[in-house]
Structure 1
């Protein structure tokens, strides 16, 4: 989220509901955030991804200056990254109280309530943040969203490339192929499937996506079944052309795309090595078993941070002139092509990563045209998972700090293929194991 409103923070969220292919091909990060106050060391710690230390530093600032808006908002966003909801609410409410017209503080607080399934509480903050469609959508949903029925589901991937597909049932209908991508936010359907399911929009808005005018609709789905797990009362989006047709009638994900909001309600394992998606009800026992399985495999838990729908952890990238370790993006699913990672900004130049600038690649970042180039880092790393001299891309024009903290690289589909990755959104841990799940 860019403080000061320096870019349209919902551009890719809206776009992710449009196409499986286009959303997955648009993982590149946006413009840099702008600090609104000089917080010195606290901001430097935050920028470096030292979030615990930054949080304590912002608390020190607030003890000396309780009316410091920037420190309150940043302290709240630090807590929100780790799903520490009591602290996030405390400091973001302080920020809203200090500056009732501050859109970013409202949007952070709206996201905080959204993650706790407090949709009605989120609605006025979406509105205050300028997101009228989101406000209308979440104000209209009644009852508990994302009700989980069932304990465990194992879904065999119908294909691995160019993007993984699983089968799911919409409102009790026949199984349909669905793509998934953690760069997308909510569950999204094609316009055809939304019509078949009898959905009516609770909110709609006209959007521009990759040079086209489309309609984005938002509603609620009675039932979404993934194998032996069923989700009920699910917020859902779908997009349509001006004439009401499918945006991309030839997409492989014939039903639509499953985004991060769905996976965050479950203990989710992306088992690339075993070519399966494993979903478990989020319980202390399920989390304990996931930790134990990772420990038996010798895998250390990695931190997991969530900024909007985007997942982050610690990782590194190395070139001929050394390496950089810090916060990196991590994305599962989607049609990431053959590139294992995207290296942002001047990172490739600084580390002297071999790059081929004579072969530009046209792509999209936040639904806007962008250009990347092939590159070959000496090594890329997530925890103990590594790849050497693997094909990646560099995006020199991408900002390094779209959320105020540096993100030097983001990892994608091709990197994950030898591993299984488990996301624990309760303890906010990522487990990376080099074998198939049992």
Structure 2
């Protein structure tokens, strides 16, 4: 038994779970010097690079992992994500299929020409309202303005079934899921044009859904939702304080925010944003950065995190919610402080729910920072340097 190799791999995995990604990457490399064909180590090393949008590194390790185990679903999913982020849809499609995502595979294979063609340099779009969720106006296939919310907990662009019909969209794939207590049909297509302020995107993925029962899941307060796949094509600023969404072409000179210390940005699970933060004097750890969406709570933590940090939880007032379309029960809680860099909220209304902080992303998550936390600030996401800039007040 190679106990030395097991020790190296266990140490690397522990560093990864703790969110020490650079150190984990070096530890996986040490493991690979000892055992170059260790599938777990080479795949994880590729994943570390993918979290930071280091595409050439990610491809190097993930293609090596694929050579070792061509049918491995996890490797194929990482590689599909890597190609998707670079708009290499023809390469992404077979990886999505091998990962078991037939709908994505068919959607991406249906593209002809360059996806995500960007026309225009800057979009400054005022919010129509902030609560219960931010709303902006956008045009679909040259039609009249529609109201769109946005949320970085979803991937691509979603439109309502009504808008899909009005825009003449045709499904190239469909999928059935169970969510919100109903059977939902998801449809996948290719959108010719999406115009947001001074920027137009052409040839982009789009989705829409319909419940099998025909009942209305929620009132149609908006016509669609914009997800992370749109935002990572730009230097994206969510100006909560100034009530506007600002998209700029991604160039190094537009990224830095004067006088604002950058926080790291990691992208996992195809569209989930993460950075560093703290809760109730916990010390810095990996946190989810959820921008947009809805809710009165500034952050969410697991029940075990609340207990470990001694956070006051009001167990007498449970409330029902949904996470990933599935019902969950959570409780109000009130940490002394939650913090992202210099941005803080003290004794604010949060929620505690769920048992574990180790999710599908494979690392421990200290908290989820949500819509209400961001209101005094403007947040800029730089997907080139992989930095987050959070500043108080309106964006300049």
* TM-score (norm. length: structure 2): 0.95
* Structure 1 residues 247 and 83: alpha-carbon distance in aligned structure 2, compared to 1, 3 A threshold: farther
**Displacement of 1:299 after TM fit?**
1.5
Structure 1 stretches of 4+ with a deviation exceeding 4 A read 245-249
Q: Could you say which residue in structure 2 is the equivalent of 1:119?
A: 89
Q: Which runs of 5+ in 2 are unaligned?
A: 1-5
Q: Could you say which residue in structure 1 is the equivalent of 2:228?
A: 260
2:260 to 299, 308, 312: 299
Q: Could you say which residue in structure 2 is the equivalent of 1:25?
A: none
Q: Does 1:396 align with 2:354?
A: yes
2:219 to 239, 250, 258: 250
Q: Does 1:369 align with 2:337?
A: no
Q: Could you say which residue in structure 1 is the equivalent of 2:153?
A: 183
**Displacement of 1:62 after TM fit?**
0.6
Query: Within 2, Cα distance between the matches of 1:435 and 1:241?
Result: 41
**Displacement of 1:399 after TM fit?**
3.6
2:388 to 430, 433, 437: 430
**Displacement of 1:249 after TM fit?**
6.6
Q: Could you say which residue in structure 2 is the equivalent of 1:229?
A: 199
Query: Within 2, Cα distance between the matches of 1:229 and 1:67?
Result: 46
Query: Which structure exhibits the higher relative contact order, with contacts defined as CA atoms closer than 8 Å and separated by 6 or more residues?
Result: 1
Query: Within 2, Cα distance between the matches of 1:144 and 1:283?
Result: 20
Q: Per the alignment, in what secondary structure is the counterpart of residue 395 of structure 2?
A: coil
Q: Give the alignment's Cα RMSD to 1 decimal.
A: 1.6
Q: Which runs of 5+ in 1 are unaligned?
A: 1-35
1:273 to 241, 244, 261: 241
Q: Does 1:161 align with 2:123?
A: no
- 8 Å contact from structure 1 (residues 180, 259) kept in 2: yes
- 8 Å contact from structure 1 (residues 400, 408) kept in 2: no
Q: Per the alignment, in what secondary structure is the counterpart of residue 134 of structure 1?
A: helix
Question: After the TM superposition, which residues 105-116 of structure 1 pair with which residues of structure 2 at under 5 Å, given as runs?
Answer: 105-116=75-86
* TM-score (norm. length: structure 1): 0.86
Q: Could you say which residue in structure 1 is the equivalent of 2:306?
A: 348
Q: Per the alignment, in what secondary structure is the counterpart of residue 79 of structure 2?
A: helix
Query: Within 2, Cα distance between the matches of 1:215 and 1:37?
Result: 46
Q: Could you say which residue in structure 1 is the equivalent of 2:46?
A: 76
Aligned length in residues: 390
**Displacement of 1:219 after TM fit?**
0.5
Q: Does 1:384 align with 2:354?
A: no
**Displacement of 1:38 after TM fit?**
7.6
Q: CA offsets, 1:299-354, max 9 Å, x none?
A: 20110000021100000001xxx42421000111111x210000124110001001
